[in-house]
Structure 1
Amino acid sequence: MPDSYELDFLAVETDKSGDAITIRYVIDGIAGVHVVDGGYIDTGDTIIDHINTHYGVTHVDHVILTHPDQDHANGLRKVLETLSVGTLWINRPWIYAERLLPRFETYTSAEALRRKLRSTYSATAALEDIAIEKNIPIRDPLQGATIGPFHVLAPSLNRYLDLVVHSEKTPEAAQESTLATIFDGFFKAAKSIANFIKGAWGDENFPEDGTSNENEMSVVQFAEINGKRILLTGDAGRDALNEAADYAPTIGLTLPGVYEFQVPHHGGRHNVSTEVLDRWLGPRLEDQPEKTTWRAVCSSAKADEHHPRKVVIRAMVHRGAWFGATEGRSILLSSGITREGWTSIPQIDYPPEFEE
């Protein structure tokens, strides 16, 4: 039996986007199933039905939470409760409470800090509780770990802990005034309103500021199966993608070049830049190619008017990608495997304009 993979981006449909990915692969005759993120609570049923129907199994070898946002974590509860699971991979800041304690001036007890961090990252804590109750082993998806055929390229432990300390959700940051929180909400709302400008082929313009610390915590995973390079990014930002690229040579990965690429954060423009995409995907082509050479998929809800951003779509196409967005449907990327009733999706139209 030749090596193969089925990489499924499942539809997560609310007024906001979410991520839910399932993977089945066969390497040297040995099969494996992974779940990477689980969308919202109701998405858990979608994942379970998909695995039962299309993979024909009730056991998942690895469940991976890329970062603690609820649109990635909550659906995994039903997966852990319903299916047989080999290992749960989650990063838990509270297990490093003693190491973190000197960096939190208002805390004198590691136990108090541990409780606060579990409360702050409650979606991750809920998965830990279920795994402990069901005797599912828990491991940390940090740089250097291997999850089946996947290598974890980011985050490193030191960078992860720095992100926890400086996150807006950490205990000391949470004590900021209500006025500051309200102002921040208005500021973010204003930033989400974009003006559009016409652009020639190859024009890109990304914001200077990056994404949230929680997004930067995202687990970045790489595997090569059946000669195809696969990069899963969660909601990774520029720092995470650069850290992953810096680490890539240690596993023999020479950049640029991937074949299956998860577009970070539902196609958010604060997660990538021209420089980061050049590192991973190669420079922009001089002209629009007649044929695409790799595939980029974006998990974005049909009702989410803000994702994917046009500049991100353009950036993928500039580098020769077939670009697809879930938009209420599930997308299968595979090494030649087909399913009855599943049809091909045409390349998305190249946007003539992008966000100013």
Structure 2
Amino acid sequence: MPNYEVHYLSVSDADAIIIRYENSGDQYVVLIDAGNVSDSDKIKNYIWNHWKTYTIDLAICTHPDSDHKGGFFGLLNDRDVIINEFWLNTPEDVIKEDEYNRLYPKRNRLSHCRECYDHPTDTDSLNLIDLAVSNKCNVYGAYCGKIHSHIPISVVGPSLDFYHPLAIEILKNNKRRKDEDNTIYNDIGYFSSVQAKSSIDDEPDDCSPTNAGSIILLFEPITSCKFLLLGDANRAAITDAISNNTNLSGCRIKVPHHGSKHNLTSVLIDKLAPCCAIISAKGSRKHPSRGIVHCLSNHCNVYSTHKSGTLIHTSYPITTPAIPLKEKQ
């Protein structure tokens, strides 16, 4: 039976997930998102301290927001670190030359389509895709149906058809929608199921095209254990993934967008019916949403990195289990 570990690193309101998968003596390290620019050393040292390697067999950037792509720049610029394969999606995958020239007759398609992967702060840095290519990484798009040849990880969203209109919006350089809930997370006082559902179901969907285009991943190391990693996918994206896949219920889920109230509904949570929910969040301002946490707890224990720090799920028993943010009701 294969051994596996899934590590949800504590990187504030950002995402960085490390998977170690071992089968028949072969070890694979997967990095899904790399937090902010300042998180690269933390990730590098974490991998070395746990597995005595600087090789990342598969890196995946779920979408080009700074709190997901940022740390990859430092890792790719580090001479110790080797990234063999890189999955990410870009408008150039779906907007072909003829269509692009109709939309932007005076611009360069390749550079424009890759702008979303520019360094968040350093204008002199190579674009993330160009940097990966210069490091001889094998770079691939990751759309629904893609499966890794050695690691039991597959892409369940987005489909090419779903991503195409989002790619057009990404080229317009749309700004991310601001979440206006500035309250600090707390679970004090009475909060009914009706209040919880209303607090999220009455809110609009996350309208960021980069979030909506997040790569949604299913890691299934054994038949009885599935991990659904939702990036910052919005409600429409998750609905589309559910419609294209029949095996997404009963998973251990990485809650989208740090537990924001704009990325799930009570209906979607009931459809997913998770057996465990992990939130990567700072625990202040808007993330995580109390309504989201409450609705998730109808199905399972809910954990957050802001309470427990880095969270680890392994194929072997953990001697010190994490304390849930909210236990299953």
Q: Which residue of 2 aligns with 1:10?
A: 9
Q: Which residue of 1 aligns with 2:238?
A: 241
Equivalent residue letter for 1:98 = E
Tell me, yes or no, if structure 1 residue 265 matches structure 2 residue 257: yes
Q: Percent identity?
A: 25
Q: Which residue of 1 aligns with 2:123?
A: none
TM-aligned CA deviation for residue 153 of structure 1 = 0.5
Tell me, yes or no, if structure 1 residue 280 matches structure 2 residue 280: no
Equivalent residue letter for 2:181 = S
- The TM-score, its normalising length taken from structure 1, stands at 0.79
> Deviation string for 1:271-327 (max 9, x for gaps)?
001121122117xxxxxxxxxxx321100024x3210000111011011x1211111
Aligned residues: 310
Equivalent residue letter for 1:265 = H
> Deviation string for 1:201-226 (max 9, x for gaps)?
46522234111211111010112213
Paired residue secondary structure (1:135): coil
Paired residue secondary structure (2:128): helix
Q: Which residue of 2 aligns with 1:307?
A: 287
CA change 1:92–1:99 in 2 (3 A) is: farther
Query: Which ranges of structure 1 fall in alignment gaps of 5 or more residues?
Result: 175-180, 283-293
The structure whose Rg is larger is: 1
Equivalent-residue separation in structure 2 for 1:115 and 1:224 (angstroms): 36
Q: Which residue of 1 aligns with 2:41?
A: 45
| Contact kept in structure 2, 1:152 and 1:221, CA below 8 Å | yes
Equivalent-residue separation in structure 2 for 1:103 and 1:278 (angstroms): 43
Q: Which residue of 2 aligns with 1:94?
A: 92
TM-aligned CA deviation for residue 19 of structure 1 = 0.5
TM-aligned CA deviation for residue 123 of structure 1 = 4.1
* CA-atom RMSD in angstroms: 2.8
TM-aligned CA deviation for residue 72 of structure 1 = 0.2
| Contact kept in structure 1, 2:302 and 2:327, CA below 8 Å | no
> Deviation string for 1:44-69 (max 9, x for gaps)?
11111111011222211100000010
- The TM-score, its normalising length taken from structure 2, stands at 0.85
Query: Which ranges of structure 2 fall in alignment gaps of 5 or more residues?
Result: 121-125
What does residue range 152-301 of structure 1 map to in structure 2 within 5 Å?
152-167=155-170, 170-171=171-172, 188=178, 191-193=180-182, 198-201=190-193, 203-205=196-198, 206=200, 207-211=202-206, 212-226=208-222, 227-249=224-246, 253=247, 255-258=248-251, 260-281=252-273, 294-301=275-282
Equivalent-residue separation in structure 2 for 1:133 and 1:102 (angstroms): 27
Equivalent-residue separation in structure 2 for 1:257 and 1:310 (angstroms): 22
CA change 1:139–1:200 in 2 (3 A) is: same
Equivalent-residue separation in structure 2 for 1:146 and 1:87 (angstroms): 13
Equivalent-residue separation in structure 2 for 1:280 and 1:61 (angstroms): 29
TM-aligned CA deviation for residue 130 of structure 1 = 1.5
CA change 1:28–1:244 in 2 (3 A) is: farther
| Contact kept in structure 2, 1:94 and 1:115, CA below 8 Å | no
CA change 1:129–1:81 in 2 (3 A) is: same
Equivalent-residue separation in structure 2 for 1:280 and 1:80 (angstroms): 35
Equivalent residue letter for 1:261 = I
Equivalent-residue separation in structure 1 for 2:109 and 2:35 (angstroms): 28
> Deviation string for 1:104-128 (max 9, x for gaps)?
2xx214x524333333442497221
